[in-house]
């Protein structure tokens, strides 16, 4: 590929990526929250939204996230200084303790999002469903299957990237452009 063509391609790449992202996101985007958001969320709607968040937290999202942060910190710091294993464990345990009891802050934020997106009637229907045995089974199975679903998505994404790349190259070749 010539230097001029490469320079031109690299200059246009951000525009192409932005256009693709815009196209993709516009087809999946939620309605603009600022346009549809009520001026004030009633306490009843917020309470229903929070109940939904609590009912569907069967996998301990907050706790798992905090523990993962501790594991990542341990894995990052220990190789740099292997002799600090015990003090590092104690420091991580101490910091983990500071996050206990703060789950509510995060879940209140989740509830606000649902309270903006769903009406009180819709939230009541959602809470009713997730309070039922079938809803509880769904919530628990979602927590158990999310790892498997993530692995399937990783394989799909990897295959898609390869196939997409090959398809774009074939399209370019059909236009007489070698890439």
Same domain for 46 and 115, yes or no, is yes
Q: Residue 138 in contact with residue 72, Cβ under 8 Å?
A: no
Same domain, 47 and 127: yes
Q: Are 123 and 111 in contact (CB under 8 A)?
A: no
Residues 114 and 65 in one domain: yes
Highest-pLDDT range among 12-26, 30-44, 87-101, 135-149: 87-101
Average pLDDT over residues 12-25: 47
**What pLDDT does 37 receive?**
53
Q: Is residue 51 a part of any domain in this protein?
A: yes
Residue 98 sits in the same domain as residue 153: no
Whether residue 114 sits in one domain with residue 60: yes
Q: What separation, in Å, do the N-terminal and C-terminal C-alpha atoms of the chain show?
A: 8
pLDDT band per the 50, 70, 90 thresholds, residue 3:
very low
Chain mean position to CA 93? 26
Residue 39 confidence (pLDDT)? 64
DSSP state of 30: P
Structurally, how many domains does the chain consist of?
2
Residues 90 and 125 in one domain: yes
Asked whether residue 73 is domain-assigned, the answer is yes
pLDDT in tens, 90-145: 999 999 999 988 999 999 999 999 999 999 999 999 999 999 999 999 998 987 88
- Per-residue pLDDT band at 60 (split at 50, 70, 90): confident
What is the structure's pLDDT at 31? Answer: 45
The closest of 50, 143, 52, 43 to 104, measured between CA atoms, is 50
Burial of 25 (0-12, 13-18, 19+ CB in 10 A): exposed
Task: Please give the residue range of the domain that contains residue 175.
Answer: 146-179
How many CB atoms are located within 10 Å of the residue 173 CB?
11
């Amino acid at each position: 590929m010539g230097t001029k063509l490469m320079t031109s391609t690299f200059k246009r790449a951000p525009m192409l990526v932005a256009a693709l992202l815009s196209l993709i996101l516009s087809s999946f985007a939620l309605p603009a929250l600022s346009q549809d958001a009520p001026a004030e969320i009633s306490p009843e709607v917020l309470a229903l939204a929070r109940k939904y968040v609590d009912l569907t937290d069967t996998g301990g999202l907050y706790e798992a996230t905090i523990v993962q942060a501790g594991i990542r910190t341990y894995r990052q710091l220990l190789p740099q200084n292997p002799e600090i294993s015990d003090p590092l464990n104690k420091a991580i345990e101490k910091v983990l303790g500071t996050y206990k009891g703060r789950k509510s802050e995060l879940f209140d934020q989740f509830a606000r999002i649902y309270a903006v997106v769903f009406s009180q009637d819709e939230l009541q229907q959602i809470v009713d469903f997730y309070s039922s045995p079938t809803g509880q089974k769904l919530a628990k199975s979602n927590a158990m299957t999310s790892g498997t679903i993530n692995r399937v998505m990783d394989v799909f994404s990897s295959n898609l990237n390869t196939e997409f790349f090959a398809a774009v190259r074939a399209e370019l070749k059909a236009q007489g452009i070698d890439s």
